[in-house]
Chain A
Amino acid sequence: MTDASVPQNVAPPPAEVPDVDLYHAHSWITKYVFSQDAKVIAIQYAGTAIAVGILALVLSWVIRLQLAFPGAIPFIDANVYYQSVTMHGMIMVVYMLTAIFLGGFGNYLIPLMVGARDMVFPYVNMLSYWVYLIATLVLVSSYFFPGGPTGAGWTLYPPQSILTGTPGHEYGIILMLVSLILFIVGFTMGGLNYVVTVLQARTRGMTLMRMPLTVWGIFSAAVMALLAFPGLFVACLMLLLDRTLGTSFFMPSLVELGERKDYVGGSPILFQHLFWFFGHPEVYIVALPAFGIVSDLISVHARKNIFGYRMMVWAIIAIGVLSMVVWGHHMYISGMDPWFGFFFAVTTLAIAVPTALKVYNWVLTLWHADIHFTTPMLFALGFLVTFVNGGITGLYLGNVIVDVPLSATLFVVAHFHMVMGIAPVLVIFGAIYHWYPKITGRMMDERLGKIHFWITFLGAYAIFFPMHYLGVLGMPRRFYEMGETAFVPASAATLNIVITVIALAVGFAQSIFFYNLFKSLKYGAPAGGNPWRAASLEWQTPETPPGHGNWGKHLPVVYRWPYAYSVPGAPEDYLPQNAPPVRGEHSP
């Protein structure tokens, strides 16, 4: 069925995507609890991730209070401090950021953006969420066991993590490892789903190079996670055996507090290789979906196509591939063969090139644009500032010799919070403000959204920018108290108090967001189907919120890429992906 008047480059390919039979829920429980609808699963994932994220936020206050007022808060002792550091880190990286980007946004957006009715394996998708929920509950339950959660640091380095000098060595560490293993099992089910859905269930005309960058980001992150999480899986399993059965995978002969242990021949450095083989790709598992989402937010709200789409896709793929071979930059001073330093410094700094190209293309998208300063746009711009700032400090830590004095100091803490804490969290907020109208049918309050943005963006920058300088000074991280240290001036303690005050304020300001989130459910202005006048497919659903099966009777047919904004000759400043071609149009 080729219409002669339709230019070849925008015509959909003739092949039909077979429609699928979906499982239709009959009861409230199967519709909203044990649901197989990716959109419901997405909200379950995101809700759980945000809930456990709030716990992590409260734990960050414990950390900040201790650093600002050491010894002054009665309920914070060394055990509580290290347990808070560990749980805050692990929750934020794995249970919050990974879960919300892949399980939350991935589930909601992939089927809608590629024109599918649902994920390819809905039942497995449902299992993925429930296993994730159990993993989260197992982790949080460690607070109720004798000794409490593990205080091993989120990296869980043996031998320390399973010995008695570390809080939570009784049950906390076991529950942590079991929980991570469960998380990986759950993620694997979800991750396979995301990958297969993108590869198999795109609608007619939705070529890979017509997918929104959000889908590219989540897709690449899911592929990487499927390759990287097994590293963590075996590390956790072996460490669990070392702890429970007394095996010696990572445990060498050692004398602990005067007592000779039975371990012999294990390698602590092997654990670090396995952990960071997962741990570094993990940074990009969080970053790539954020890259994708931010590309779409900027494009929609600047009414302009994303600049250099093909370069953006190849940059995502290049970053994904390179990120699998840079893990050693976390181990420059670990005692591994120092010759590794040359290799990992080269790969790590090489990754800066595609990453910088992405930044340039985001900024160049703003050139000759028509920029609307909506709340999602503000958050996207906030991301750019924090990401550029956090990205360039990566050039310090990746360049092996510069890392030597900075590693294990607050410089590292400031760097990774800026680049994979604040930056992705700003994207999550932007994405929620952006897609909330599609999910609920109502707009969030713009005025509250902007107040929330300004406090969060400026506050977070003020927390983490000065912290780099404490690291340059040499202040080590993971110090429960600095004590009397000759090289640390009294002004450092003052700065720590300032940072803590700002951190508490920014933390409490998040209540504005939650108030907005719940208030708008009922009182938000009706959004209509496409309030941002966006071109990508998820805004073209027949119903808002989209019903089960997403597309009503017929799957949409896609004629162009998702960035057809301000196309010359088009009647409006956007052309939906599924709108029939315009005469003379040359969209990719």
Chain B
Amino acid sequence: MFIAIAMVLVVAGSILFHVLSPWRATPIASNWGFIDDTMALTFLVTGAGFVAVILFMAYCLYRFRHVPGRRAAYEPENQKLEAWLGIVTTIAVIVLLAPGLLVWGQFITVPKDAMVIEAVGVQWSWSFRLPGADNQLGSSDVRYIDTTNSMGLSPADPKGQDDLLIASSELHLPIGKPVKVLLRSIDVLHDFYVPEIRAKMDLVPGVVTYFWFTPTKIGEYEILCAAYCGTGHPQMRGKMVIESEADFETWRTAQQTFEQSRKSDASRDKRASAQ
């Protein structure tokens, strides 16, 4: 008896919690509003299913509880009813899956005009690389990594010489322009995670992964790591600044190229050895 009441209360409490909860998705700052829409649809369909099943069960528990003299009915199966339930469930699943797959199709189709940048993860910090005037990123490999080349760019690749290196963990992006983020790790798994843009993807040492999004809201956002990467995992933070095209250009022109960083490192080394 209590259990029937408890189930009604569980359903009511869950709905109430859902409506009143102050913990909601962060305000979206990218083009992936479709992801939020698909999730909202899922909340609706699954929530209705949950409420219907548990309330029906609560009714049965109340209505068919044992009282002296009650005897259960004997009904091994009802194929018609089972078939109908199967069909209704299949339709509900298709309603959830179809829009989900459509949005996934967009997610994995990078726009041709997307600006390509690179995020590099290392235990436990972020750094970034933007293409220089040639609009191309140079090749890289962990075997090139040394004290003056922490991101492992190929010193011989002419495409890489003008690449802009951002070692400060602060990435700036222009608003309204699709960005393809190439992801590279030089040690363990990491994951580029900014809750406000919804999209995220793992960094896997040995391969270059990617995802894309279009920033839609000016502001500063925290970059976290979402793939456990050792004891410093929670401290692996970065900052993503979405700003106007003009502000972005100002910031970009202030960044050092690979060539410049090698020269300044080399001159510093020379000074150090002269002393």
Q: Which residues of A contact B (CB under 8 A)?
A: 78-79, 82, 151, 153, 157, 159-160, 163, 165-167, 252-257, 260, 265-269, 302-305, 307-311, 333-335, 338-339, 341-342, 345-346, 349-350, 352-353, 356-357, 359-361, 363-364, 366-373, 378, 381, 384-385, 388-389, 392-393, 395-396, 399-402, 404-409, 454, 457-458, 461, 465-466, 469-470, 472-474, 476, 478-483, 485-487, 489, 491-492, 495, 563, 565-568, 573, 588
Which residue of the partner chain A has the closest CB to B106?
Answer: A401
B72 touches A368 (CB 8 A): yes
A350 touches B64 (CB 8 A): no
Which residue of the partner chain A has the closest CB to B235?
Answer: A483
Tell me the B92-131 residues at the A interface (CB within 8 Å).
Answer: 93, 96-97, 100-101, 103-104, 107-108, 122-124
Bound state CA distance, A260 and B186, in angstroms?
10
Tell me the B149-194 residues at the A interface (CB within 8 Å).
Answer: 152, 183, 186-189, 191, 193
Q: A357-B89, A368-B64 are in contact. Are A474 and B26 (CB under 8 A)?
A: yes
A350 touches B193 (CB 8 A): no
Give 16 pairs: A residue, B residue, CB < 8 Å, sorted on A. A78-B232, A151-B231, A253-B143, A265-B206, A304-B74, A333-B201, A338-B104, A356-B89, A368-B72, A407-B226, A408-B193, A473-B195, A482-B234, A563-B76, A566-B72, A568-B74
- The interface residues of chain B lying within 8 Å CB-to-CB of A359 are 53
Q: A369-B64, A370-B66 are in contact. Are A472 and B228 (CB under 8 A)?
A: no
Partner of A385, one of B10, B39, B123: B10
- The interface residues of chain A lying within 8 Å CB-to-CB of B198 are 404-405
Q: A260-B145, A491-B23 are in contact. Are A402 and B206 (CB under 8 A)?
A: no
- The interface residues of chain B lying within 8 Å CB-to-CB of A393 are 46
A370 touches B72 (CB 8 A): yes
Which residue of the partner chain A has the closest CB to B89?
Answer: A356
B82 touches A357 (CB 8 A): yes
- The interface residues of chain A lying within 8 Å CB-to-CB of B193 are 408, 476
Kindly name the residue among B14, B100, B103 whose own CB sees the greatest number of chain A CB atoms within 10 A. Answer: B100
A357 touches B93 (CB 8 A): no
Which of B55-63, B248-256, B258-266 is near enough to bind chain A?
A: B55-63
B274 adjacent to chain A (CB < 8 Å): no
B74 touches A405 (CB 8 A): no
Partner of A400, one of B101, B123, B141, B189: B101
Q: A159-B188, A254-B186, A408-B193 are in contact. Are A307 and B77 (CB under 8 A)?
A: yes
B204 touches A334 (CB 8 A): yes
B148 adjacent to chain A (CB < 8 Å): no
A469 touches B21 (CB 8 A): yes
A255 touches B64 (CB 8 A): no
Tell me the B24-73 residues at the A interface (CB within 8 Å).
Answer: 24-26, 32, 34-35, 38-39, 42, 46, 49-50, 53-54, 56-57, 60-61, 64-66, 70-73
Bound state CA distance, A42 and B205, in angstroms?
45
B191 touches A408 (CB 8 A): yes
B122 CB to nearest chain A CB (Å)? 8
Bound state CA distance, A480 and B233, in angstroms?
8
Q: A360-B82, A402-B100, A469-B17 are in contact. List 19 more A-B contacts (CB 8 A).
A: A159-B188, A159-B189, A165-B229, A253-B141, A255-B142, A311-B82, A346-B101, A363-B53, A366-B57, A366-B64, A367-B73, A368-B75, A400-B104, A401-B101, A408-B226, A474-B26, A478-B228, A479-B234, A568-B74
B204 touches A335 (CB 8 A): yes
Partner of B85, one of A79, A255, A357, A495: A357
A360 touches B46 (CB 8 A): no
B218 adjacent to chain A (CB < 8 Å): no
- The interface residues of chain B lying within 8 Å CB-to-CB of A406 are 39
Tell me the B192-244 residues at the A interface (CB within 8 Å).
Answer: 193, 195-196, 198-207, 209, 220-222, 224, 226-235
Which residue of the partner chain A has the closest CB to B1?
Answer: A373
Partner of B228, one of A160, A338, A353: A160
Partner of A160, one of B70, B122, B221, B230: B230
Partner of A157, one of B7, B17, B183, B189: B189
A479 touches B57 (CB 8 A): no
B72 touches A302 (CB 8 A): yes
Bound state CA distance, A353 and B23, in angstroms?
31
B272 adjacent to chain A (CB < 8 Å): no
Q: A404-B35, A404-B107, A458-B6 are in contact. Are A163 and B230 (CB under 8 A)?
A: yes
Which residue of the partner chain B has the closest CB to A480?
Answer: B234
A345 touches B204 (CB 8 A): no
A567 touches B103 (CB 8 A): no
Bound state CA distance, A50 and B198, in angstroms?
40
B64 touches A371 (CB 8 A): yes
Top-3 shortest CB links A-B:
A252-B206, A165-B230, A474-B195
B233 touches A392 (CB 8 A): no
B178 CB to nearest chain A CB (Å)? 17
B187 touches A399 (CB 8 A): no
Partner of B104, one of A167, A345, A485: A345
Q: A160-B228, A268-B205, A489-B22 are in contact. Are A349 and B93 (CB under 8 A)?
A: yes
Q: A254-B205, A353-B86, A402-B35 are in contact. Are A307 and B75 (CB under 8 A)?
A: yes
B273 adjacent to chain A (CB < 8 Å): no
B275 adjacent to chain A (CB < 8 Å): no
B56 touches A363 (CB 8 A): yes
A335 touches B46 (CB 8 A): no
- The interface residues of chain A lying within 8 Å CB-to-CB of B141 are 253
Partner of B96, one of A268, A349, A388, A489: A349
- The interface residues of chain A lying within 8 Å CB-to-CB of B152 are 255
- The interface residues of chain A lying within 8 Å CB-to-CB of B38 are 399, 401-402
B97 touches A346 (CB 8 A): yes
B186 CB to nearest chain A CB (Å)? 5
B196 touches A487 (CB 8 A): yes
Q: A165-B123, A399-B97 are in contact. Are A78 and B22 (CB under 8 A)?
A: no
Bound state CA distance, A342 and B141, in angstroms?
32
Which residue of the partner chain B has the closest CB to A257?
Answer: B123
B204 touches A309 (CB 8 A): no
B199 touches A404 (CB 8 A): yes
Bound state CA distance, A255 and B186, in angstroms?
6
A79 CB to nearest chain B CB (Å)? 6
Kindly name the residue among B7, B75, B107, B205 whose own CB sees the greatest number of chain A CB atoms within 10 A. Answer: B205
A473 touches B26 (CB 8 A): yes
A373 touches B65 (CB 8 A): yes
Q: A157-B228, A370-B70, A482-B234 are in contact. Are A466 and B17 (CB under 8 A)?
A: yes
B96 touches A492 (CB 8 A): no
- The interface residues of chain B lying within 8 Å CB-to-CB of A407 are 200, 226
B206 touches A566 (CB 8 A): no
B156 CB to nearest chain A CB (Å)? 18
B231 touches A78 (CB 8 A): yes
A491 touches B22 (CB 8 A): yes
Which residue of the partner chain A has the closest CB to B141?
Answer: A253
- B 1-15 binary contact with A (CB < 8 Å = 1; else 0): 111001100100010
A401 touches B89 (CB 8 A): no
